[in-house]
Chains A and B, each alone.
Chain A
Amino acid sequence: MRRSLEKIIVILSYASSVMTIMIFSVFLWFLISRGYTTLNLKLLFGNVSPYGAIFKGIPVWDGVWPALVGTTFLVFISCAIAVPVGISAGIFLAEYATTSRWRSFINFAVDLLAGMPSIVMGLFGFAMIMLLRSSLLPEATTCLLLASICIALLVLPYLIRTTQAALETLPAALRLTGVSMGFTKWQNIFRVLLPYASRGILSGVILAIGRAAEDTAVILLTGVVANSGLPGSLTDKFEALPFSIYYLAAEHRTAEELNRGFGSALLLLILTAVLFQIAYWFHGRISKGSR
């Protein structure tokens, strides 16, 4: 009885992992079969030459190059804000927040933030700009910086939670290693505990990157537009791949246009894969550095 139960569980878990791979393959095949015909330089740059678009700044109006760049900027800026803050907050919660009332208050706040629908976050950003316009900065508008901040808020709870969990699940004895040699508390956290926890923290960063790259609801209300070209500064409007996909799919008149939406989706997938690689590489560099 026990043995057959064990067998069933093994088979089920095996089947689940196979299913995950299968679903992903079907999904990928679907995207590729619809999108690959459009996946070329024309999709990116339209009628402008790539060299001109990249190096001479010739505006691209009928390609998704500005959206690709916009999404890349969005991910980098929002992660530049959210990753340090999120990891620090996670460290604080795991290592410093000792009084239980303070701790449960912060935990409650993080949970609320995690449960916040992204459209609400977008609305929040929009409302902030309205407030700023009517008070300190009359010329403030929705822009890349605002969208990045709102996206940062959106992904912050993932980073806090994964950092906190990665630190809290370390064996208790490990916590004593550094301090027993005379490390200060911070030296122990930074030199002993964080290296052990870094894989877990990395998974939070990956999650954050993915979320930042795909979210549409937040940017919809905070500065994305269908056709703005490359953002020249943080206060410019910008394009973004998920919004381009939505736009291409919703407004398409020919099957070819719809396929361009699939091509862009494929592009978004490739972009996130590249960003993940950068995160892995960065993690490798950091852990090498601590060797």
Chain B
Amino acid sequence: MAFPSTSCSVFAQNLSVSFSARQVINNLSVEISSRNITVIVGRSGVGKSTFLRSLNRLNEEISGSRTEGTVKLSFKDGTVDIYRDRFPIEELRRRVGMVFQTPHPIPTSIGKNLSLPLKLVLNLPSRKIDDRIEKALTIVHLWSEVKNRLKEPALSLSGGQQQRLCLARTLALEPEILLLDEPTASLDFKASEKIEDLLSELKRDYTIISVSHSIGQARRIADNVLVMKEGSIIKVLAASQFQEKGTLEDLLNEVF
């Protein structure tokens, strides 16, 4: 099947994911456009994180999981049918960067958290690594806070700093699609605002799919909102449909 349209970068059809016989994603079909921010909303436990993980084949790392259906991703150099094509899984996961709901730094220093993936995954020479680290940390507004403590353990950072560190770590790998699972969950509103601004900037280069529990945030940053219920996407809203204050809440109240 040809890819639906050129502006679409994620295409899922009849996607189902189950964990030991319990169906979590249920015949989900969706098209997500490129260089946009798509925000997924839905009650806790409907399968938002599981859906994100199905886009970089991460559910396969969870024992007892089964995935069926089709997911096609379009990258700069072509389209990949990720569950059928023989595309190297490590490369797929690098291109589809993911930041988790809870940050998990590697138990080494702050600097190593960024340099290690660059070395292991991209084989970058060390002189290039330092530049990239600084760039990535600057983007997430962490550079000024940590530039003098790159040798300190990453676990000594606060929760919000760890989350930004993990975002920087993912960005440093220069993915093409960015999956964010509640990226601002442990941030104060000032820091959230900065991250929201950042995402709006990043969408020029990346396709961003973000889970959010904040309707306000969805309204501020989303080009599209996907509403999930019982493992399916039951509604797709475009920005034009919820610009006025209150409309998104009303629309969501209807479907929840």
Contacts and interface: CB of A to CB of B under 8 A. Distances in A.
A179 B170 contact: no
Interface in A189-213: 191-192, 195-196
Interface stretch (B33-41, B92-100, B230-238): B92-100
A178 B117 CA distance: 8
Contact of B58 (A176, A184, A196, A291): A176
A176 B120 contact: no
Interface stretch (A167-175, A220-228, A243-251): A167-175
Nearest to B108: A291
Contacts of B186: none
A176 B108 contact: no
A60 B153 CA distance: 50
Contact of B108 (A174, A187, A195): A195
A194 B112 CA distance: 15
A178 B106 contact: yes
Interface string B113-148: 000110011000000000000000000000000000
A55 to B, nearest CB: 42
A171 B62 CA distance: 12
B162 to A, nearest CB: 12
B104 to A, nearest CB: 4
Main secondary structure, interface of B, reads mixed
B173 A182 contact: yes
Contact of A173 (B102, B106, B117, B173): B102
B61 A196 contact: no
Contacts of B90: 182-184
Contact-residue bracket for chain A: 20 to 34
B112 A173 contact: no
A195 B107 contact: yes
Interface residues of B, number: 29
Contacts of A174: 104
A174 B155 CA distance: 13
B100 A182 contact: no
Contacts of A4: none
Main secondary structure, interface of A, reads helix
A191 B62 contact: no
A291 B112 contact: yes
B184 interface: no
Interface string B61-72: 111000000000
Given A181-B169, A187-B120, A290 B93 contact: no
A167 to B, nearest CB: 14
Contacts of A182: 90-91, 93-94, 117, 121, 173
A98 interface: yes
Given A191-B116, A195-B106, A181 B121 contact: yes
Interface string B158-195: 00000000000110010000000000000000000000
A271 B112 CA distance: 37
B93 A196 contact: no
A277 interface: no
B23 interface: no
A291 B93 CA distance: 24
Interface in B49-107: 53, 56, 58, 61-63, 90-91, 93-94, 97-98, 100, 102, 104, 106-107
Nearest to B106: A192
B204 interface: no
Interface in A128-176: 171-176
Given A173-B102, A191-B120, A291-B151, A180 B58 contact: yes
B120 A183 contact: yes
B109 interface: yes
B176 to A, nearest CB: 13
A177 interface: yes
Nearest to B110: A291
A180 B98 contact: yes
Contact of B117 (A98, A175, A176, A181): A181
Contacts of A179: 58, 61, 93
For the complex of A and B, list the 9 residue pairs with the smallest distance between their C-beta atoms, beginning with the closest.
A182-B94, A182-B121, A182-B90, A177-B104, A182-B93, A181-B117, A180-B98, A195-B107, A291-B109
Given A182-B173, A192-B106, 10 more contacts: A173-B102, A176-B61, A180-B58, A181-B117, A182-B117, A184-B90, A191-B106, A191-B120, A195-B107, A290-B112
27 contacts: A98-B63, A171-B104, A172-B62, A173-B100, A173-B104, A176-B53, A176-B58, A177-B104, A179-B58, A180-B58, A181-B97, A181-B117, A181-B121, A181-B173, A182-B90, A182-B91, A182-B93, A182-B121, A183-B121, A187-B120, A191-B106, A191-B120, A192-B106, A195-B106, A196-B107, A291-B109, A291-B153
